[in-house]
Amino acid sequence: MNIIDQQQVVKMSNAFRAKDAVSEKFVVGLFLDDTTACQELADQLKHFNYTPKVIHNFIELQHCVRDGDINCLIVSTQLPDGNGSFLVRQLSPHLSGIPILFITRNDHITVHLETVNAGGIAMFNMPIDTTAILDKLDYLSYRKNTDPYRVLIVDDSETIATYISLVLQDVGIDTKIVIDPLKIMGPLTEFDPDLILMDLTMPQCSGFDLAKVIRQRENFNCIPIAFLSNEDDIEKQPAMLKYGGYDFINKSINPKNLGTSIKARVRKARKLKKFMVKDSLTGLLNHSYTKQLLENEFKQASRNNSCLCFSMIDIDHFKQVNDVHGHLTGDRVIKQFSRLLQQRLRKTDIVGRYGGEEFAVIMPNTTLNDAKFVLEDLRISFSKILHRSTEGDFQSSFSCGIAESSACASATEINENADRLLYQAKASGRNCIAVPIEKCTKAS
């Protein structure tokens, strides 16, 4: 079994992620009465790409706040220096824009009122629930997916299509133009639009018929289609909706209204899509949509002659976690692992929950060596995360199999190879990563 130096794993993984970082550094100030709990929380935050800054006394807190060293403050309601709420109120002129979270040993309503009057936006009880704090920090640091809206414009008039594109770009929407409707399938797959804006009358084929063709493809069945129509198309509108149209927009609409109108429709479409393609517990992509994106990414990698890695991951001995600590704790473990994947991988990587405790990661433009280092770093971090339950604290681990596109003829084959390698990792003792040819790799 190959032994990889742990420092080398971290160094290589960080260098790889730096090419497309998910988020900027978010510094969390920790001013707590319990030094052990403070250090433990700091260690846990590091695993999720937060930068903890332990503060030891009120003078140090003053310097941190006035120098702008922290993005968020977590403080105990009772400190050796005095009442936490009172101390925070003294700094209120300098705390503008810095969210304040309180941790308390006394959950009385009067303590809640003190923290609210001090500007606190949340309060957590001891012992510290890391999952709850991470949920709040994720919200505060805006680490959720904020990809621009995407609209695919299909119009045989390049002038009109360009005009619409510029109008939409002015309101922050990414666009892609298709002039020849018979060539729509490639851009549709690669661009993955939130909405298709389609001219109704085109010489090669009508938008009406093209919508029917799109709806024949299962992968594109749920993408909303808005038709650009003229006043005299009004009688056709019921048929448009029947055969795949989502909405219709009059071409005579002024530019300002066109931009805001399309943006409102795309926002609604993305919300609906979230319910259809996301797993409700973790917010990751669901099984079927992950497989669909794997098919798309594999075809694109083949066309571009680029590397694609696909990984299957399984949390080790998860049934035992549920049996000993309960299903609610098991759900928290799954959510923690999902959060780790989302925050430690690149923005361009695709993460899905395959089912139960099994996950999938699609890594475009990634060599097998890079994928191995990144996932090895994740494996090490996950094994250090502390999970709490009434039955006691515990840690978990995962097994992983990584397959590479260059050795596969189809998305189905790369999926099967990753699955086979996952079982190889589990057969090799779990808590390790299996890759083609090599045996499992585990850091020391």
Does the predicted model carry a pTM greater than 0.85?
Answer: no
The whole-angstrom separation of Cα 319 and Cα 357 is 9
Q: Provide the terminal-to-terminal Cα distance of the chain, rounded to the nearest Å.
A: 11
pLDDT of residue 1: 34
The pLDDT of residue 254 is 81
Q: What is the pLDDT of residue 286?
A: 94
3-state secondary structure of 48: coil
Cα separation of 251 and 274, whole Å?
Answer: 29
**Reduced to 3 states, what is the DSSP secondary structure of residue 146?**
coil
Q: Are strands 398-404 and 308-315 parallel, antiparallel or unpaired?
A: antiparallel
> What CATH number does the domain located at 150-277 have?
3.40.50.2300
CATH number of the domain at 23-140, out of 3.10.450.200, 3.40.50.2300, 3.40.50.970, 3.40.50.880?
3.40.50.2300
Sheet of 308-315, strands arranged across = 2-4, 441-443, 433-434, 398-404, 308-315, 358-364, 350-355
Beta carbons within 10 angstroms of residue 198's beta carbon: 28
Which pLDDT score is estimated for 176? 95
DSSP states of 97-160 as a string?
Answer: T--EEEEES---HHHHHHHHHTTEEEEEESSP-HHHHHHHHHHHTT-S--PPPEEEEE-S-HHH
Domain residue extents for the chain: 23-140, 150-277, 287-443
Q: What is the per-residue pLDDT for 7?
A: 60
Q: State residue 232's pLDDT score.
A: 57
Per-residue pLDDT, 257: 84
Domains 23-140 and 150-277 share a fold: yes
Burial class (CB in 10 A: 0-12, 13-18, 19+), 326: middle
Contact 307, 362 (CB under 8 A): no
For the chain, 444 residues long, the average pLDDT of each consecutive 10-residue run is 52 57 76 94 92 94 91 94 91 87 93 93 92 89 70 93 92 94 89 90 86 83 81 58 64 80 87 85 92 91 93 96 95 94 90 95 95 94 91 94 94 96 94 78 46
Q: Which pairing describes strands 51-54 and 27-31: parallel, antiparallel, or unpaired?
A: parallel
> What is d(CA 393, CA 19) in angstroms, rounded to the nearest whole number?
36
The first and second tokens of residue 392, run together, are 């006691």
- 365: closest CA among 347, 352, 378? 347
SS3 state at 402: strand
**CATH C-level class of 287-443:** alpha beta
State how far the alpha carbon of 53 is from the alpha carbons of 109, 124, 162, 253, in Å.
29, 19, 49, 53
Length of the chain: 444
